[in-house]
Amino acid sequence: MLVGITPKQSQWTGGGLTDIIDGMNYIYQYAASQGKPAVVNLSWGCTIGSNDGTSLFSQACDNLTGAGKIFVIAAGNNGTDKIHLQKDFTPNDSVIKSFISFDNLLTKKTTWMDIWGDSAKTFTVELSLYSNNTVKGNSIRFTCNNQMTVDTFIIGSANDTCFIKATTTPSELNNKSHAFFDIYNNSSDNLCVEVTDTVGRVNMWLGYVLGSHGYYGAFNSNGTSWATDGNADMTLGEMASTKSAITVGAYSSKIDWTDINGGSWSYTGYALNNRIAPFSSHGPTVDNRMKPEITAPGLTIASAVNSYDTSFSSYGTNSTFILSKYTNPSTSHDYYYAEASGTSMAAPATSGIIALMLQIKPDLTPQEVKNILINTAIKDNYTTQTPNQNLWGAGKINAYAAVKNTIKLSGIKQNSFSNSINHAIYPNPAKTEFTLEITSKTAEEQNIELYNILGNLIYSKRWNTTQGQNKTLVKIPDNTPSGTYILKISSPQGNSINKVLIE
């Protein structure tokens, strides 16, 4: 019997990219030493990077994963951030300009800007400060065909300064021209970027990581006709672009909740039920692969929170997100359950489903997992029958169909329920006992088993029935907790499974 949504976790990891790689390697090696498969879930990333699956992180993940070693990553939460620009240059259309705004949550106007060109192509970049659409100062023009690191600045209005650290170098990983800028604008003027070329394509992203948080401004036209607004395309980030990864977007399975104090809350006006969550980052990858592969519920998802985090308590600063609590009768310590949102909620649910699949077929490869999830994805009126793959991937994840498809792939013989047993259970709900009535086509032996929701067998009986109607009394074991139980009946004529409620 399979259990869900996932077996208990044996390892959590956090830290920098090398720490994450080391953690993944440890999990896979430990699982192998125990003769088990493993699925690693990661909710981390930034839009900065080549976003084409060639980064060192992506290559390391591709080398680590394989049969029974699956990597799942959240798609990211930049679906409403206009942090991307793309330009195809021609001799007659050789310039793209855009203003750069900064995340208001930062105390300083700081951002990174990452620009990637085509292989064996070059481009030039210039930064300028504008006040009332008048240029107040320019940077040098950076040519991205050689390796160079430059610390420079621009003087703007009132002699305020915009500091720029620029690194230009062709990438050894994909041979593409590349320019990276670390920007701090201490001027009140608006910062504008200009990229020039006569052939080829560039992709540009904004993003900034401080501590464990990502900060995102925007590319915008600033109300001019000659500057270009950014978009949310290709906002998955470098890590979520990993080729072997199962990248997971989020949709809104519900938008309302009631907090522990009885307050009613809703994301009405921001999100719609059953539709893509607005924050879910968009594909595709730069090399035009479908990402995300799948979506899962990611809005107002309930889970346990740290019981020592006082903000998550009945009257803490996050009390509006608290849904319920459990008080340990021995220690009187409160344990809270809260709702949260993000692709970081959708990815763990997907990891749990994949864990169930690995229980059936431990040697599933990343590509086999992808194929199953894609081929069994739910397509409904909200995804449409031809989902926008940059938002939905193949559609909504279908746990039941994915597990069932894995059973078929594994070659495990399934019990046939096409010839279900003619039976009745009463009373149901039951307290101490219930009657099982079976109408048999012939004399045969019935195997009766009662399981709890953890899959543990709590009662079994072999019963010889005759042709026609038969009755037997099933006595529920003493001290059986109230709840939902599964009654399984097996005989040569077929099988039946029913829920039994015990009060």
Interstrand relation of 468-475 and 433-440 (parallel, antiparallel or unpaired):
antiparallel
What pLDDT digit, counting tens, does each position of 89-134 carry?
A: 999 999 999 999 999 999 999 999 999 999 878 899 999 999 988 9
* Region(s) of the chain under CATH 2.60.40.1930: 414-502
* Region(s) of the chain under CATH 2.60.120.1290: 84-231
- Find how far residue 337's CA is from the centre of its chain: 20
**C-alpha span between 30 and 282 (Å, rounded):** 34
Q: Provide the CATH number for the domain formed by 84-231 in this structure.
A: 2.60.120.1290
What pLDDT digit, counting tens, does each position of 417-451 carry?
A: 445 788 889 898 899 999 999 988 889 999 999 99
Do the Cβ atoms of 84 and 96 come closer than 8 Å? no
* Region(s) of the chain under CATH 3.40.50.200: 9-78+240-253+272-300+342-407
The amino acid at residue 361 is: K
The amino acid at residue 233 is: D
What pLDDT digit, counting tens, does each position of 250-288 carry?
A: 999 999 999 999 999 999 999 999 999 999 999 999 999
The amino acid at residue 224 is: T
Q: What tokens were used for 95?
A: 């310039």
Q: What tokens were used for 426?
A: 């009463």
**C-alpha span between 224 and 334 (Å, rounded):** 56
> Band of the pLDDT at 408, cuts 50, 70, 90?
confident
What pLDDT digit, counting tens, does each position of 8-38 carry?
A: 433 333 347 889 999 999 999 999 999 999 9
Q: What tokens were used for 218?
A: 């925007």
Q: Is the omega angle on the peptide bond into residue 329 within 30 degrees of 0, that is, cis?
A: no
Planar angle of CA 259, 263, 268, nearest 5 degrees: 90
**C-alpha span between 84 and 332 (Å, rounded):** 51
What pLDDT digit, counting tens, does each position of 179-223 carry?
A: 999 999 999 999 999 999 999 999 999 999 998 889 999 999 999
- Find how far residue 18's CA is from the centre of its chain: 21
Do the Cβ atoms of 475 and 460 come closer than 8 Å? no
Q: Provide the CATH number for the domain formed by 414-502 in this structure.
A: 2.60.40.1930
Do the Cβ atoms of 98 and 92 come closer than 8 Å? no
With a threshold of 0.75, does the pTM exceed it?
yes
- HEC string of 2-46 equals CCCCCCCCCCCCCCCHHHHHHHHHHHHHHHHHCCCCEEEEECCCC
**C-alpha span between 32 and 439 (Å, rounded):** 49
pLDDT value at residue 158: 87
**C-alpha span between 256 and 339 (Å, rounded):** 10
Interstrand relation of 294-297 and 246-251 (parallel, antiparallel or unpaired):
parallel
Q: Which fold has domain 9-78+240-253+272-300+342-407?
A: Rossmann fold (3.40.50)
